[in-house]
Amino acid sequence: MKNIRISFLSSVRTLVVFGLVYISGSLHAEVILPKIFSDNMVLQRNQPIQVWGWAKASESVTVTLNGATAKTKADKNGNWKLSLKAMSHGGPYELIVKGKNTITLRNILIGDVWVGSGQSNMEWTIKDTNHAKEEIANANHPQIRLFTVPKAMSFDVEKDLTGGQWLECNSSTLGDFSAVAYFFGRKLNADLNIPIGLVNSSWGGTNIQTWMSWDVMAGKDEYRKLDIATLREAAKEMPEKQRKFSEAIANEKGKLEKWYDANTADGWKKITLPKLWEQTEIGNADGVVWFRKEFTVSAEDIGKSTTLHLGPIDDADETYVNGKQVGGMNGWNIDRHYAIAGNILQPGKNVLVVRVYDGAGGGGIYGAPDKLYLDVNNKRIDLTGEWQYKISVLNTEYGLQSAGPNAYPSQLYNAMIAPIIPMPIKGVIWYQGESNTGEAGKYQKLFPELISNWRTKWNQQFPFFWVQLANFMAPDSLPVSSDWAALRETQSMTLSLPSTGQAVIIDIGEANDIHPRNKQDVGLRLALSALKVAYNQNVVYSGPVYKSMQKVDNKLVLTFDNTGSGLQVKDKYGYLKAFAIAGEDQKFVWAKAYIEDNKVIVYHPAIKNPVAVRYAWGNNPDDANLYNKEGLPASPFRTDGWK
């Protein structure tokens, strides 16, 4: 799944920051600011304003903003830092920095700065969301400023980002910015009428471990033996390995040797499809693999309407029938449907060949079995089962398998978070967890550790809000255990930390896409938490949260916090769904449930002594329909502690 994948090629391009201490005072004859400072930036209100940078050793530096001035000198290594007095929101201003040279930053606002971080759903851009054209066309918000941190990795804490600049939010700048961060900031700006600065520091497919500092991660058993010095040296070889791999892709032998030729059958091995090739003997690798399948067409169907259905292919394909290309596209989550011209098929045996290129993570022809077939003359020819495959180029042949940000912890913290930490902020929004499903027990410890880690490094107990995992994958026909439900539970547990909040979105996910396009409601629900927790506004900011359970005869009575103006069921017939109930045998069945006196009554006629309830407990509880009257969904929960 692409949400839990890392673009290897992108990873290698950013490896240049490994171990590179490129800010050295002895090299600077002029004052230099870090890249987080630029025209159009937002500085945090109501806190001392921190300005820092580099210059020649002992060089005098003067900073002026909004009538306030502060002076300092660079130390022997060329580092300098100073503070200006706290200011209320306002602007635009000029920030003037003087040493041997003068830097003038214009259009500076004082307001609230929020950092958005996580994986692909935080990275997901406005241009790929619902109603993108309308959103971009209406994006004239001069009080909202946008900064995207470039992707980079490092084994060392870096002093500066690799690039980036602040942009004023308008139709020409918004399209490539984080959708969740924008919709969050737009709501705050509209309600508070103060400038909002949004810093997006995210990377698709990344786990939580790579966003935590090494002083925290080094103490964990699985990382104690990591030798950072050795890893740093190995990283120096990556560009050359990448060059050779890229060269092999450009001169890929499968194309040169015409493996698409129907008569070329030597050297192919058996494989069962559909399936990600990581789940086969091909293994965890990226590159080019060819797949081959023979099928039979009757003479009477030749020349009739024919469409080839391959389901999704991860990432790109070129598809041939009897040696002639019939289709090809790039998109890991796009179903392939290719019309086949009447002169391509032949009576009897035909040969289908698919060249698959995968740039990161899982690869191959991996969709549901019912998506892999040939429709010829309204007759379905099943293409599942035994195929053949032939490897052309894999990155593992070049020693490139473990080069992404998930390979070792702290790499993104070092390169994409640490350089901005001297800058005071209002708080953080976080959308991550998909890459850690399957290890909820570990995440239960890591997530609160990350929040505490960042607060400690910033020396601020700032508010921290996150998005609970959306509903995803096929709904379950019966109550089952679920890695996604377990990770949602750990996210909810983290609400025990002060100044936190959670946006529940189990009602806006998509079964076949881990990237829900409705980012508007995600940003809105995060903003409601911020308005309540960070700004002390009297708003209903959360859906119902399970509080307690009482047994009455053969029924279980549930009470909830955050019911707003009352519980409600979103169903035209008034039926509550997604509740499961169990007796002492721990066997859950779907339950009957209804609302009475602002409580939920759960029961099942066949269970005379119920002891536990679960709600929306599954990968995709698509029928979950308990809300408060303000329209916010109840958070998934269970009353048991069973494994």
Q: Report the predicted TM-score, pTM, of the whole model to 2 decimal places.
A: 0.82
Considering the domain boundaries, does residue 237 fall inside one?
Answer: no
Of 480, 507, 541, the residue at which a domain comes to its end is 541
Query: Residue 208 — pLDDT band, cuts 50, 70, 90?
Result: very high
Residues 158 and 18 in one domain: yes
> Considering 541, 565, 592, which residue would you say is the last residue of a domain?
541
Residue at 84 is within a domain = yes
Determine the Cα angle at 87 with ends 86 and 88, to 5°: 135
Token pair recorded at residue 465: 């809000």
d(CA 381, CA 374): 5
* Chain Cα centroid distance, residue 138: 26
Strands 167-169 and 141-148, how do they pair? antiparallel
pLDDT of residue 6: 41
Q: Let me know if residue 14 belongs to a domain.
A: yes
The CATH number given to whatever domain includes residue 498 is: 3.40.50.1110
> How much of the chain exceeds pLDDT 90, in percent?
82
Q: Are residues 179 and 59 in the same domain?
A: yes
pLDDT (0 to 100) of residue 8: 38
524 and 464 assigned to the same domain = yes
- Asked if residue 641 lies in contact with residue 503, where contact means CB atoms within 8 angstroms, the answer is no
More confident residue, 367 or 17: 367
CATH number, residue 284: 2.60.120.260
Domain identity same for 103 and 222: yes
pLDDT given for residue 331 in this prediction: 84
Residue 401: band (very low, low, confident or very high) from pLDDT cuts 50, 70, 90: low
- 336 and 445 in a single domain? The answer is no
Tokens of 602: 């759960």
Averaged pLDDT, 421-447: 96
Same domain, 290 and 310: yes
Q: Are residues 535 and 555 in the same domain?
A: no
Of the candidates 344, 297, 299, the residue with the CA atom closest to the CA atom of residue 321: 344
Domain total of the chain: 3
Q: Is the pLDDT confidence value at 429 over 80?
A: yes
Within 10 Å of residue 64's Cβ, how many Cβ atoms?
17
Same domain, 57 and 159: yes
Res 28: pLDDT: 52
How far apart (Å, rounded) are the C-alpha atoms in residues 558 and 57?
66
In degrees and rounded to multiples of 5, residue 531 shows phi and psi of: -60, -35
Asked if 485 and 557 sit in the same domain, the reply is: no
19 located within any domain: yes
Whether the predicted pLDDT of 402 surpasses 70: no
Encode pLDDT of 457-513 as tens digits. 999 999 999 999 999 988 989 999 899 999 999 999 999 999 999 999 999 999 888
* Residue reference for tokens 């851009």: 125
**Residue 172 placed within a domain:** yes
Whether the CA torsion 530, 533, 537, 543 is positive or negative: it is positive
Would you say residue 251 lies in a domain? no
**Cα–Cα nearest to 447, from 412, 494, 501:** 494
Note the pLDDT of residue 359.
84
| Per-residue model confidence (pLDDT) at position 511 | 87
Q: Counting Cβ atoms within 10 Å, is residue 150 exposed (0-12), middle (13-18) or buried (19+)?
A: middle
Residue 124 placed within a domain: yes
| 322-331 per-position pLDDT tens digit | 999 999 999 8
Q: Quote the tokens at residue 104.
A: 């003038």
Q: Are residues 200 and 51 in the same domain?
A: yes
Same domain, yes or no: 372 and 473: no
Would residue 73 count as lying in a domain? yes
CATH number at residue 625: 2.40.10
Residue written as tokens 């946006």?
Answer: 503
For the segment 142-201, what is each residue's pLDDT rounded down to a tens digit? Answer: 999 999 999 999 999 999 999 999 999 999 999 999 999 999 999 999 999 999 999 999
pLDDT at 5 over 60: no
Which of the four pLDDT bands, split at 50, 70 and 90, describes residue 2? very low
Q: Of 398, 423, 444, which closes a domain? A: 398
What b/e readout covers 319-338, taking b as 16+ CB neighbours within 10 angstroms? bbbbeeebbbeeebbeebeb
pLDDT at 3 over 50: no
What's the distance, Cα to Cα, between the start and end of the chain in Å? 26
pLDDT in tens, 572-601: 888 999 999 999 999 999 999 999 999 999
Angle at 364 between CA 363 and CA 368, to 5 degrees: 115
Range of the domain at 513: 1-226+408-541
Q: What is the pLDDT of residues 535-558, one digit of tens each?
A: 999 999 999 999 999 999 999 999
Owner of token pair 């600011």: 33
Question: Is the domain of 332 the same as that of 461?
Answer: no
Contact 527, 502 (CB under 8 A): no
Indicate the pLDDT class of residue 25, thresholds 50, 70 and 90: very low
